[in-house]
C-alpha cells in the first residue's frame, strides 16, 4: 500500500487536503481534512440577531448570498415573520439568490473544474480569435492551469475541435459570470456581501428601469447556459462516459426546499435513499459529530444545541470540519440532491422532463446521476431551471409596492433558516436571549460533503466518493481531484481561519 497526499487542493474555494491509501491502483481509504478553523459562530454571540445577515455573509466572498438568505430566514422565523413577507420581497430574494447561483455554477465548470478534462495545449491555432483568447493561451501555456507537474499521464479525451470550442468558451464564461453578478447586484445593492437582503424582505426599491436592466442581462445569461454551458457539459460527459459510474459516493441525498413563489416551491426538499425512495426531511434528526474534528468531544448534538469549541490538540481528529449526519447516516447535498429530490417528489413536471431529456442526450439513466459526471450535469441543469424561472419572478415584481415588512424583534426566541444554496442544503440555527444572540450554528453544504469520519467510522461523502476509485500509478492522480471537484468544494464556508497572534502557519507553492 502507498499513501497519496494532495495538499493544498487547488482550483476550489478554501483550503482542503486529501490523504488516500492506494493498493494495486485502487483507493482503499481516504481522509479529507479541512485545514482552517471555523470561528464565525463564536463571533456572533452577544450581537443583535439582525447583525447576523452581515456577519454570516463574510463566511464566504464567493457565495455570500445563500448565507444572507438563510440568516434572514432564521430571523424571520424567530420574529414570527414567516408568511408575512411581501411578494416583492420574496421574489427579490429569489432573483438575487438564483442569479448568484447561476454565476457560481458557470464559475465552477469553466474556471475551476473544466481544466481537469480539457487540455489547452491541444489548441494549436488561435488565429482569427480575439486578443483575449491569445492572452489566455499564453496564460495557460505557462502552466497556471496545471493541477500537477508533470501532467503527461492525464487522460484528456476531447478531440481537438471540441477542445478548441470549450477553451474558447472560457473567456465568454467569465463575461457571462460578470453579467449574472451584475444582474443580482441591481437588487442586492452590492457584491460581494449584499446590503439589501434584510429580515422581513429586501430593502431595495423596485423600478421599471431596474427590472429592464435585470432582464436584458438575464436573457444573455440564459442563452449562454442553454446553448454553451449545457452542451459543453454534455460533451464532457460523453467523452468521459465511464465517469457516469465513478465517484458514486454514499447514494443518500438530502435537500431543503428552495425558491418559494406564491404557494409554489420550485425545488422540493427531501431525502433520497436507495436511488428511488423519497421521504420528507425532519430537521430534528440532524446532528453534528466531532469525533474526528478538532473540537471539544461531546455527544452528537442537534445544531440548535451545538457549540463551536475548538480543541486543536485532539489526537484522533484530522479536520476542522464537523460531521453532520441525518438520523446517524451520511448524506450528500448539492444540485444532484436538489434535482433528484424534486424529481422523486413528482411536484414539478418541468424539472422532471428536463432531467429525462438531458439524460437522453448522454445516453444515461437516473442512477447514472450518482457520479462525477452526473454532478456536473445536475449543476448545469439547475442553472438552466433557475434562468428560466427568474424571468417569471422578475416579471411579477410590482414597482411602488412594499418590499419589506416592519417588525419588533422579541427579546427571546429561536429560529431556523434553510436555503437551497448553489452547493446544496444550507442551514442556520439561531438562539436569542435578552435581545442578543446566545448561540448560532451553521451547517454548510461542504460541511455535509467534506465531513470526516464519525464515531461509527462512517466516511463522509467526499471520502466515500474517493474510496474504490481506480487511479493511475503516476505522479498525477487526477481521478481523485475529479471526484472531489465534482462536488464544487467551498471549504471557506465549511471552516474559517484565525491566528490571534498573527503567526505564520505554513508556506506553500500553488500552481
The CATH number of whichever domain residue 22 belongs to comes to: 1.10.645.10
pLDDT band at residue 259, thresholds of 50, 70 and 90? very high
Strands across the sheet with 270-273, in order? 253-255, 270-273, 277-279
pLDDT recorded at residue 294? 93
Residue 239 covered by a domain: yes
Residue 495 covered by a domain: no
> Considering the chain, what percentage of its residues have pLDDT values greater than 90?
69
**Sign of the Cα pseudo-torsion (308, 312, 315, 318, in order):** positive
Is pLDDT at 61 greater than 80 in this prediction? no
pLDDT recorded at residue 462? 98
Tell me if the bond preceding 150 is cis, omega within 30° of 0: yes
The alpha carbon of residue 23 and the mean position of all alpha carbons in its chain are separated, in whole angstroms, by 32
Mean pLDDT along residues 201-216: 97
pTM reported for the whole predicted model: 0.92
- Contact by Cβ (8 Å): 6, 480: yes
pLDDT recorded at residue 35? 85
Residue 474 covered by a domain: yes
Residue 93 covered by a domain: yes
- Contact by Cβ (8 Å): 397, 91: yes
Specify the number of domains making up the chain: 1
Is pLDDT at 154 greater than 90 in this prediction? no
Residue 508 covered by a domain: no
Please give the full DSSP string across 377-435, using - where no structure is assigned. HHHHHHHHHHHHHHHHHHHT--TTS-SB------SSEEEEEEEEETTEEEEEEEEEETT
Mean pLDDT along residues 393-407: 96
CA distance to 155, 255, 458, per residue, from 378 (Å): 23, 13, 26
Helix (H, G, I), strand (E, B) or coil at 281: coil
- The Cα 265–Cα 454 span in angstroms is 33
Q: What is the per-residue pLDDT across 420-459, written as a single tens digit (0 to 9) for each?
A: 999 999 999 999 999 999 999 999 999 999 999 999 999 9
Closest residue by Cα to residue 462 from 440, 441, 444, 485? 485
DSSP class of 14: S
pLDDT band at residue 499, thresholds of 50, 70 and 90? very low
Q: Domain limits at 338?
A: 2-487
pLDDT recorded at residue 1? 84
Strands across the sheet with 26-34, in order? 2-6, 16-23, 26-34
**Sign of the Cα pseudo-torsion (310, 313, 318, 324, in order):** negative
Residue 504 covered by a domain: no
CA distance to 52, 289, 432, per residue, from 45 (Å): 10, 22, 9
Residue 494 covered by a domain: no
Is pLDDT at 144 greater than 80 in this prediction? no
Mean pLDDT along residues 12-20: 88
- Contact by Cβ (8 Å): 74, 429: yes
Is pLDDT at 62 greater than 80 in this prediction? no
Residue 506 covered by a domain: no
pLDDT band at residue 505, thresholds of 50, 70 and 90? very low
- Which of 30-34, 238-242, 249-253, 298-302 bottoms out in mean pLDDT, i.e. has the lowest? 298-302
CA distance to 136, 507, 511, per residue, from 142 (Å): 10, 22, 10
Amino acid at each position: 500500500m502507498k499513501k497519496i497526499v494532495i495538499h493544498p487542493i487547488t482550483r476550489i474555494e478554501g483550503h482542503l487536503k486529501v490523504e488516500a491509501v492506494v493498493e494495486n491502483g485502487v483507493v482503499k481509504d481516504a481522509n479529507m481534512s479541512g485545514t482552517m478553523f471555523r470561528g464565525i459562530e463564536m463571533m456572533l454571540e452577544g450581537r443583535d440577531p439582525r447583525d447576523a445577515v452581515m456577519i454570516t455573509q463574510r463566511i464566504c466572498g464567493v457565495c455570500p448570498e445563500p448565507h444572507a438568505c438563510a440568516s434572514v430566514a432564521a430571523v424571520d422565523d424567530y420574529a414570527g415573520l414567516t408568511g408575512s413577507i411581501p411578494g416583492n420581497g420574496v421574489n427579490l430574494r429569489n432573483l438575487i439568490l438564483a442569479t448568484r447561483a447561476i454565476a457560481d455554477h458557470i464559475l465552477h465548470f469553466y474556471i475551476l473544474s473544466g481544466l481537469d478534462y480539457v487540455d489547452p495545449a491541444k489548441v494549436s491555432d488561435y488565429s482569427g480569435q480575439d486578443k483575449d483568447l491569445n492572452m489566455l493561451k499564453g496564460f495557460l501555456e505557462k502552466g497556471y492551469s496545471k493541477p500537477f507537474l508533470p501532467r503527461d499521464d492525464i487522460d484528456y479525451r476531447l478531440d481537438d475541435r471540441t477542445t478548441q470550442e470549450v477553451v474558447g468558451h472560457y473567456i465568454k464564461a467569465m463575461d457571462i459570470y460578470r453579467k449574472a453578478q451584475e444582474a443580482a447586484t441591481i437588487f442586492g445593492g452590492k457584491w460581494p456581501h449584499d446590503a439589501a437582503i434584510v429580515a422581513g424582505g429586501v430593502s431595495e426599491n423596485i423600478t421599471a428601469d431596474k427590472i429592464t436592466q435585470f432582464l436584458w442581462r438575464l436573457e444573455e445569461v440564459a442563452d449562454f447556459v442553454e446553448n454553451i454551458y449545457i452542451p459543453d457539459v454534455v460533451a464532457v460527459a460523453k467523452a468521459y462516459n465511464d465517469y457516469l459510474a465513478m465517484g458514486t459516493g454514499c447514494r443518500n441525498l438530502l435537500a431543503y426546499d428552495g425558491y418559494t413563489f406564491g404557494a409554489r416551491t420550485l425545488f422540493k426538499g427531501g431525502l433520497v435513499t436507495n436511488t428511488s425512495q423519497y421521504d420528507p426531511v425532519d430537521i430534528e434528526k440532524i446532528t453534528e459529530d466531532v469525533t474526528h474534528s478538532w473540537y471539544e468531544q461531546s455527544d452528537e448534538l442537534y445544531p440548535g444545541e451545538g457549540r463551536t469549541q475548538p480543541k486543536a490538540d485532539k489526537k484522533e481528529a484530522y479536520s476542522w470540519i464537523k460531521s453532520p449526519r441525518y438520523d446517524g447516516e451520511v448524506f450528500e447535498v448539492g444540485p444532484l440532491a436538489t434535482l433528484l429530490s424534486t424529481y422523486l417528489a413528482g411536484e414539478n413536471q418541468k424539472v422532471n422532463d428536463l432531467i429525462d431529456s438531458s439524460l437522453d442526450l448522454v445516453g444515461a439513466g437516473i442512477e447514472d446521476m450518482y457520479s462525477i459526471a452526473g454532478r456536473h450535469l445536475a449543476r448545469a441543469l439547475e442553472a438552466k431551471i433557475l434562468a428560466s424561472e427568474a424571468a417569471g419572478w422578475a416579471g411579477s415584481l410590482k414597482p411602488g409596492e412594499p418590499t419589506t415588512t416592519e417588525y419588533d424583534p422579541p427579546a427571546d426566541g429561536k429560529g431556523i433558516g434553510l436555503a437551497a444554496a448553489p452547493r446544496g442544503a444550507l442551514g442556520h440555527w439561531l438562539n436569542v436571549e435578552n435581545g442578543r444572540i446566545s448561540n448560532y450554528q451553521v451547517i454548510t453544504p461542504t460541511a455535509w460533503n467534506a465531513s470526516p469520519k464519525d464515531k461509527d467510522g462512517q466516511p463522509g461523502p467526499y471520502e466515500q466518493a474517493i474510496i474504490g476509485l481506480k487511479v493511475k500509478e503516476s505522479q498525477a492522480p487526477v481521478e481523485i481531484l475529479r471526484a472531489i471537484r465534482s462536488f464544487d468544494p467551498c471549504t471557506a464556508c465549511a471552516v474559517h481561519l484565525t491566528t490571534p497572534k498573527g503567526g505564520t502557519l505554513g508556506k506553500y507553492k500553488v500552481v
